[in-house]
Structure 1
Amino acid sequence: MDLQEKIRTIPTKPGCYLYKNAEGVVIYVGKAKNLRSRVRSYFLQASQANAKTGSLMREAVDIEYITVDNEREALALENNLIKQRKPRFNILLRDDKTYPYIKLTMGDRYPKVFVTRKLRKDGGQYFGPYFPGNLAHRLVDLIHRSFLIPSCKVDLSRYHPRACLQYYIKRCLGPCVDGLTTPELYKQTIRDVQLFLDGKPQELENALTERMMDAAMNEQFELAARLRDQIVTVHQMQDKQRIATADNEDADVFGFHYEQEMLAVNLFHMRGGKIVDRRDFFWEDLQEVLSATLNDFGETPGNLGEPADAPVEVEAEAKLEPNPVVAAPEIEEEGERTQHTAISELGEAFSPKAFFSALLKQLYLDQSYVPRSVLVPVDFPDRALLSEALSERTHHRVEILAPQRGDKRSLVDLVCQNAKQSYDQRFRVLQPGMKAIQEALQEALTLEELPRRIECFDISHIQGAETVASMVVWEDGAMKKADYRKFQIKTVTGVDDFASMREVIQRRYKKLLDEKKTFPSLILIDGGLGQLHAAYAALEEIGVTLQPLASIAKREEIIYVYGQESDPVVLDRRSPVLHLMQKIRDESHRFAVSYHRKRREMRDRDSELLTIPGVGQLTRQRLVQHFGSVRAISQASLDALTAVVAPGVATKIRAYFDGVENGNGAAPDKAAPVLRVLS
């Protein structure tokens, strides 16, 4: 059936439509209150040679649609389809930063507590989100110290012969070893943690007080003291929450800066009246994507801001749109800014209201928590509909506001100024400060602390021969060459990078444990998942289970964090964090390769002496120790050689090197290339 004929059969109900190309790939997803009217408008604009929809309609050869009962359902369905299909002509949220949650693995025999950024239907219980990101890490650390619930990667489905370090420093109940705790005590502690994270301090305090009194009556004073400390912790958290909730309500504030088809968006999270965190979003080459999106709002050069389904006051909309070239737009009085002015400043291809409509859906429709106020720099037609949908999902009123004046508008202007700075830093290639890069690295890899020292390992060999490893160190913004280390692989024969990595990691960090030295903020492995798991196995053998560990693959430039292998970190190619990781990885590779070449050269030099009749391993060792190198031996006189070895052997050595220099073929063929390198 022809595409236009198929459009005539589309119902007039609310729903979503999906355009497909010749390969059957979905290239655009949209929603409509009237499906037939909305889809027909694409052909109307395409017939008028409108560049806004031309690219989309040139590729579209088929269309599918899904009907729903109302616009609110269409809104949710559109968001799900965009995230599943990732159509090329839709605005896609490409931000690596997500909200941190605290997870209890309730499906395990002995549940653990983790910080995670992915919500999954895996039987776990999730709490959050938390702002700023390190708050979740601080709470998990508090749970370790007060409730002794672990975050380690140890398999707790079976018992182990001995406990790890966390048990001995009293940060774990020891469920990994039979007899250290009981399932009943562990379940009771998990219930305490649930009450703590659920924000039910009074109920938790009552339960802890009752158990503390029972323990004291039974003369279990150590247990009573631990319960007393937990009560103190609950009191402290209550005081902090009272202070935080005494101020203003929570809000998210957006700002943007658009220039030369590139866009920077800033989002400030305000909690309790204070800015606690911010997020940066960036898009490049937006013209083609935005031009397709504009049609959902029925925009043409002569019809700015008039959606296909519901007319909107044009001048009121235009007045709210900021100048994309100015960071903090001024709000003009009624009538000062005309429709023509708004078009000329924003350009025909970019519509802030179309953009923010798509962005807010992707950001909030899947979130379990949405603040009561969301401030945006521009109004958009389905703002009220989105506000109703979010209020229904979160069970509290959510207001999406486009303020025109007053304190709220000043706050939006401030975020727009920050968006301008983010734009300059990203697209004008301004190098961010090292602390900013460290903070971004901490955020990307979900590290508990700011990374100050990174140790990176690489393996080098040729078909298993002369296998060596390197360790390079990055510390406080620079490579620290004084701490570089080289390793000869001693226990592995043949080609086995995994076993080689395991040996090196175990040797390095067992020595640090024995010397009671500080471990690095992050161990970085040059390789993929195999090397990463081999490194963790080595750490686990020496009882280290909480050390941050990651690997970076060479070709894909994907970062795998141990414990989160199913969700690898994919950074933008312009990201300073990725550039830092690549720099450290490349330095470890260079150092490993140079050491491997040196070892090969030494091997070839040593084997050359063994080809001389009368020279064995002991003689070779004595000559190299005395003269220092094969070159020095080849240049030594007969008397000098006689002082080290027997006269007959010295004569043969001198004759050998004299024959090589004269080119009479005295040296074996395999030694010839080595001598050319030496000379």
Structure 2
Amino acid sequence: MNPRLPYLREKTAKLTSSPGVYIMRKKDSSIIYIGKAKNLRNRVSSYFRENPDHTPKVAAMVSNVYDYDFIVTDSEYEALLLECSLIKQHKPKYNILLKDDKGYHYIRISDEEYPRITNEKNTKQPGRYLGPYTSGFITKEAVNEANRVFMLPTCRRKFPQDFGKSRPCLNYHIKQCMGVCRGRISAGDYREAVEQAVEFIRSGSAQSVERMEAEMLRAADELDFEKAAMLRDRINAVKKASEKQKIINSGVESADVIGIAEYSGGLYVSVLMYREDRLFDKAVFEFPLPDGGEDILSLFMMQFYYKKPDIPRNIIIDHIPEDDLLITEMLEGQAGRKVKLHVPQKGRQLELLRLAKNNSAEYAAIKNDRTGKEVIALEQLGQSLGLAKPPRYIEAYDISNLSSESMVAGMVVFEDGRPLKKAYKRFTVKEQELQNDYGSMREVLKRRLMHIVTGEGDEFFTRTPDLILLDGGKGHVNAVTPLMKELGLDIPLFGMVKDDKHRTRAIATGGREIQINGLRQVFDLVTRIQDEVHRYSVSFMHLKHKKKTYSSELLKVRGIGEKKAAKLFMKYKTIANLRAASAEELAQTAGVSTDVAQELKKVISEL
């Protein structure tokens, strides 16, 4: 507990109720947290109240606060801008800080008589630069495409020094280079092609094609047919590239598309930046999952767009952020025009939003040694079931029996979308004398959940799952739900419903079914879980049934009763181990004479 709390509470009681920014400091005056508030007194006092319910992260921050400063502003909007500025300046420990995994990339137009267009990681060399760009891949692709479309040289020859010194290379013969090395292209014509390529990189849109078409018509009118043909070829090359890579007419003129994926306690955000109908750049960020239920999108957008020079006309997102009015005011103030926050429901923009989410999921998968499909499946499963976060740790249960004999249950565990076999458990149903799937499921779940309540058991039995799935419909869910309430547990509980061909069809709640056929990754994951828990429980049931059959054979030996037969199976577990045991070992385990053990050995060898 922070010994400074009495002082901090007394100071906060006198704090103004105006909007502003508060700055938490350690004893050495270093800044550890910066926040904004509509009402400073109410917000700051929430940190220092008598009975706080802080998350671990906030509690750790409060325990380190020695004092705080505050700056009063005229509006909440001014507080937002000041908060963003101070966070970028000081980078406090407990604020969410955006960290890009790459440095910046640039496109360089060299300062030469015959300039080259190249992809660079810095601006140290002389020349003109486009950028910065956050995606090295997109920068490289843009340079390669521009050089190819406009047939610019990519070799290491120096011009005009190397004119005519050797024959043109293969690129010239396959029409991917205009053959500057022949010395037949003037510096003026070459620079014109370079400028067209730069315009193509900047816009990549139909506008550059329109300009070249106008220039081509003008050259034809002036009877400069060679230039007109050259422009015609460039126009065709641009159009061909657009058909292949959707550079032109992507359907989004000026927009950022933000996709967020949550996985393994972290957040992964992709921003696809479209300008002039093409994908212009991409940025990917990773940061820890914030505490306190803050809106992730609000936190991200405030930091990402603050003082950003290139603000698009549209920002495509999956929900409207909490501070949408403040964020919009900031964006429009920086852009000097209207900026729209848009949540698409259908069409091309919804496809782009899914693409951005897939990018985030793939990035999360790489960072966590998983596949993008596994990340997406867990995220979509959580959303479909209305969970607060993706279910990383899932337990599934199935009941198996032969009539009223060999009644058992299997529990399988999936962690991060994959089976965790060392956490699997088997249960023998003990309280049900007759076949009763609902009663059996309730009995098994009670025995398992009591380990969570008491804290007794191994690391897997005492762990609380993020989701429990029962192999069955709403009847199974309704049988177990009252038990959960009795034990005071709040664990999401659903059933896995099969069709008449024993294939996964839907997920059941206590009163309805949730269709998952339209979510391919979710459907595949739930099907794998359902198939695995069924396989596991059925294999255990067959094993139990075999043991009962073997046990009845042992009972035929005079002097062997049910308790002695149970001792033998408990000791040796499998028929192979029983067969390998000597008569003396069997006699000692079952507590019988040598003659009975010899007869027992004979019966076991015939099993």
- TM-score over 0.5 (shorter chain): no
TM-score for both structures, normalised by structure 1? 0.39
Higher relative contact order (CA 8 A, sep 6+): 1
